[in-house]
Structure 1
Amino acid sequence: MIMPPINWPSDLTQLAVDLPNWHKNLFFQQTKKEFFSRIDVLKQKSARLDIHTIVIEIAKIVATIGDAHTAVVLPRYNRLPIEVYCFQEGLFVVAAMPTCQNLLWQKLIAINGETISSICKRLEQVISHENQSFVLAQLPEYLICTDILFGLGIIDDLHHVTIQVETDQQKIIDCQVHAIKYEDWQDVLTEQKQEIVALPLYRQHPDQYYWSHLTEDKGFLYVNYNKCKNMTEHTVEYFSSKLIKRLEDNLTIQYLAIDLRNNGGGNSELLKDFLHWLGKFKRLNQQGHLFVIVGRDTFSSALLNVYYLKYHSAAIFIGEATGGKPNCYGEVKYLSLASSGLAIRYSTQYYKLIEDETQLSFEPDVVKEVTFQDYKNHIDPCLEWIYQQIQVGPV
């Protein structure tokens, strides 16, 4: 069956009509003239562009809105066989398929001859964001997607890419890498899970939305809350009720850490009952006994939970500036462009948590940046700082 060609001018017209009508306040940062002008320019040249480039150009237009919740859902089929992460020292390969094990722990310098610094600046135009923390959070996913790299003109072949890395001996190496399908990486992750040992708590159980770890003889309970969403096995309400019972019954628990650094959001109401209870639980809700860890991936509903704790507890906040902006648009719905089927998220509500409209992130009381050496050596600087405060050894 031959699919009819995509009518991009029609889709762009739909975008120009529907997005301003359905978004809560599309023109809070740019003028209508700027938005419509960008769409008109793309319409005029759309016939000369391939599908990958047009999708990226639409993503750029949507990103100029300045709302991290409003973004093009970029189609992702092909990826590099590696995982990367942005550290204080630069961007490093933190996982790799067997065929690319020589790249593991190496610093990424360039892709197809273009420096990582230049590529990151170009990707920033595609990523809908409100602050640099969110850009840092999103870059690793964008950098490994060859569909995106191709659409930006960084690579000219979806399946064969030249990567340049710098070794720990400061030797520069060029590597030819073959892209894979996203589903093929999942199989690799399943195999690698069996080999994970001695990881810090925040990197354990990535498949679970919430879990806890108790070191009873040290009076310390660590709670990891990775997603504001119910798991199939048990709900957040059930998990919260078990936590409350454990904390009420076990008088040896004198310290509590809630880790929200990897929580990208969901439904903020799910944890509200537990947070409300915690605010009245005097044994833990006092200075030096309650800690909250935040980071670049703390976003949306997770940030609402952070601010609830800020206003209703004596918690000390540790980590990085959040990817979520305190006052922001949210409550996402989806728009589908009729001809291409391209999906676009858009915000339907505005949330005001603080008076200062210029504040771009929630800033923790104690800043602990992510370093490559800590990551490679399985050290969590946030928990290490907490251990020092409560004078206990590592969990």
Structure 2
Amino acid sequence: MIKIIQYVLCYLLVLKGFGQNQLPASDWQNDVKFLQETIHRDYAFLFKKVTQKDFDAAVDTFYKTIPELQEHQIRVGLSRLVSMFQYGHTQIPYSYVSKAGIFPINLYQFNDGLYIEGVHKAHEAVLGAKVVSIGETPIAKALELIRPVVPVENDQYFKAYGLRFLLSPEVLHAQGVIPKLSETVIWTLEKEGQRFSYDFPTISRDAKPKVFNFTLPTENWLTAREISETPLYLKHLDSKYYYFEYLENEKVLYVRQSSVFNHESETLEDFYKRLFDFIDNNTVDKLIYDVRLNGGGNNFNNLNLIKGLMARPHINTKGEFFFIIGRDTFSACQNLTNEITTYTEAILVGEPTAENLNFYGDSRPVQLPKSGIKVYLSHVWWQDKPQWENKDATVPHIAVEMSYKEYISNADPVLEAAMAYKDDGFILDPMQHLTQLFMVGDFATLKIDATKIAKDPRYRYYDFKEEVSKAGNRVLNQGNREGALFIFELMAELYPESVGTWFSLGNLQMELKQNEKAMTSFQKIIDLEPKSMLARTARNRIATLKKQ
């Protein structure tokens, strides 16, 4: 009887969040203007990825619609505004965006789909199911719709920190994923080859365990993973921020650091000392340092690790030091990753990081006067890399993702890739390698190697097309038109669907009086994207060439 009463009370608390506006529209509008003025006055430096003009236009549109919106739609709308800056530290906390209940599941995006990785035991039947749709909205469209609410730095940030917004009926309704706000929503799922519908209720947010992006099994929560063993990257997640384990047979030292904060049981400085003492007194042929679950902390704690690595050239050597990164690698751990790439010989393995190389962090809370919502606005620019080297993320030398099947069987393909690596000709720096071949005039080898790189899935996060295109333009700007022609022809062969490549090639062919080839290149653009602006220009170029 007591358990029934507790369940009813919990259910009523969840329902309480689905009420109507508690503030008049004018108060919300005052908060929006207060936020806008505060940003312009004190945080104008945040206008890097979005212009002041576009931000103000979004504010004005939102301001006018507030009288027509329910409270949850206003809260979600505020999050959309703040997320326009695209800095993960500049945000409205999830607890303000979604005040009502959430669905009793944990989601994870594997390389073969979005799966229910964890679930409350009352819904065990859906554990391990692949998500097909939410309501009538296909999951790909649902992800697209909720993305503007998330302060994404890049695609990896969204996969790591954005999926929780799918669990909120308030966000789903505000973003048009479901037509009306309800405490239950039907999801379409697929499991063991069978597609079925499941009507999910909501639970209190506090009832869901908060341990990284994976579910640790408890009395009430189940994980899809086989729990008879635990892979190294998930060991001690509930008790240790960092630990290491020696794989004696392989003479490999595995280290997992999941925070840049000190733990109450051991400071990072003491941990690093213990780590390097072990390295100095044991045979370590390979060091594998895993920060794929590290969301940051205090980046001043990074120094002793970097100093320790630089003082040990026998381990800080290409092929003997591996650094695992991933979608959770963020904030102070991005600083650490930057330092690793600058000062060490580490080979990076895994997925790209969730943070830009250079970024705004260290946010201050700004409380909106009427609603009391706290908006966190970043105020410190962290520039570890030169401005011209800034990118959306740090990408691994060797790209490795995990499938759902690998996860549930406790396989770790990322660690396996680091363990199995041998210096067998794998090109760690594609552009440096190809540039050297170009400089010595070995175009035949360059073409062979470029083709291999373009097709090798281990480079899938490396923007090879963009890098080679930039190289072609640099060569052209230096006056080497024949060299640029070789690069653009190679790019057209490797990426025949790229209208930009065909446009660059056609223009250069036109300059070199290769009129027939130029017309063929411009016609490719018309065939690929007949209604585009480039197609219009291509038609004009063809008409000009025909007159010559």
Counterpart contact for 1:24–1:349, Cα < 8 Å: no
365-374 vs 36-45, which moves further:
36-45
More helix by percentage:
2
1:215 to 2:239 alignment: no
Q: Give the letter for the 2:275 counterpart.
A: L
Contact 1:20 1:26 in 2 (8 A): no
Question: Could you say what secondary structure the match of 2:79 adopts?
Answer: helix
Match of 1:341 in 2: 372
Alignment of 1:258-277 (within 5 A): 258-277=289-308
SS at match of 1:218: coil
Give me the identity figure in percent: 25
Give the structure 2 partner of residue 61 of structure 1: 81
- Correspondence 1:152 to 2:175: yes
The answer to whether the Cα contact below 8 Å between 2:187 and 2:198 also exists between their aligned partners in 1 is yes
Equivalent position SS for 1:266:
coil
- Structure 1: runs of 5 or more not aligned: none
Matches of 1:48 and 1:103 in 2, distance apart?
37
SS of corresponding position for 1:258: strand
Looking at structure 2, the residues matched to 314 and 4 of structure 1 have their Cα atoms a distance apart, in angstroms, of 57
Alpha-carbon spacing, 1:379–1:115, altered in 2? closer, same or farther (3 Å): same
Q: CA RMSD in A?
A: 2.3
Using the alignment, how far apart are the partners of 1:129 and 1:311 within structure 2?
A: 25
**CA offset digits 1:26-68 (Å, max 9, x no partner):** 2223332322222122222212211110011111111222323
Distance 2:316 2:281 in 1: 16
**Given the alignment, which residue of 113, 122, 146 partners 2:136?**
113
Distance of 2:82 and 2:183 partners within structure 1: 27
Pairwise CA distance, 1:206: 2.0
- Give runs of aligned pairs for residues 242-281 of structure 1, distance below 5 A: 242-250=274-282, 252-281=283-312
Residue 319 of structure 2 corresponds to: 288
Q: Does 344-353 or 48-57 show the bigger shift?
A: 344-353
Higher RCO by CA contacts (8 Å cutoff, separation 6 or greater)? 1
> Which structure's residues are more often strand, by fraction?
1
* Cα distance per residue 1:351-390 (max 9 Å; x no partner): 2233335621111110002221211221111111122137
Alpha-carbon separation, structure 2, partners of 1:189 and 1:158: 29
CA contact (8 A) 2:118 2:222 kept: no
Do 2:329 and 2:353's aligned partners in 1 also have CA atoms closer than 8 Å? yes
Residues in 1 aligned to 2:22 and 2:166: alpha-carbon distance in whole angstroms: 31
1:307 aligns with 2:299: no
For 2:23 and 2:338, locate their aligned partners in 1 and report how far apart those are by CA, in whole Å. Answer: 48
Name the CA distance, whole Å, in 1 between partners of 2:51 and 2:389.
Answer: 19
Task: Report what 1:32 is aligned to.
Answer: 52
- Whichever residue aligns with residue 102 of structure 1, its letter is A
The residue that corresponds to 1:5 in the other structure is: 23
Following superposition, the deviation at residue 143 of structure 1 comes to 1.4
Contact 1:24 1:347 in 2 (8 A): no
Indicate how the Cα distance of structure 1 residues 74 and 186 shifts in structure 2: closer, same or farther if over 3 A, else same.
closer
Distance between the aligned counterparts of 2:362 and 2:378, measured in 1? 6
* Equivalent pair of 1:55/1:74 in contact (CA under 8 Å): no
Query: May I ask how many residue pairs the two structures share in their alignment?
Result: 387
Whose Rg is larger?
A: 2
Secondary structure at the counterpart of residue 71 of structure 1: coil
Residues 365/377 of structure 1: CA separation in 2 closer, same or farther (3 Å cut): same
Spell out, residue by residue over 1:268-301, the C-alpha distance to the aligned partner (whole angstroms, 9 max, x if none): 1113112211112122111211110001111111
TM-score of the aligned structures, taking structure 1 as reference length: 0.92
Which of 134, 148, 157 is the equivalent residue of 2:157? 134
Tell me how far apart the structure 1 counterparts of residues 205 and 344 of structure 2 sit (CA, whole Å). 42
TM-score (norm 2): 0.67
Secondary structure, aligned partner of 2:208: helix
Match for 2:169: what amino acid? T
Question: Which of 376, 382, 389 is the aligned partner of 2:421?
Answer: 389
Correspondence for 1:351: 382
389 and 31 in structure 1: CA distance in 2 versus 1, 3 angstrom threshold: closer
Indicate the larger mover: 204-213 or 257-266.
204-213
On the 8 A contact 1:55/1:151 being kept in 2, the answer is no
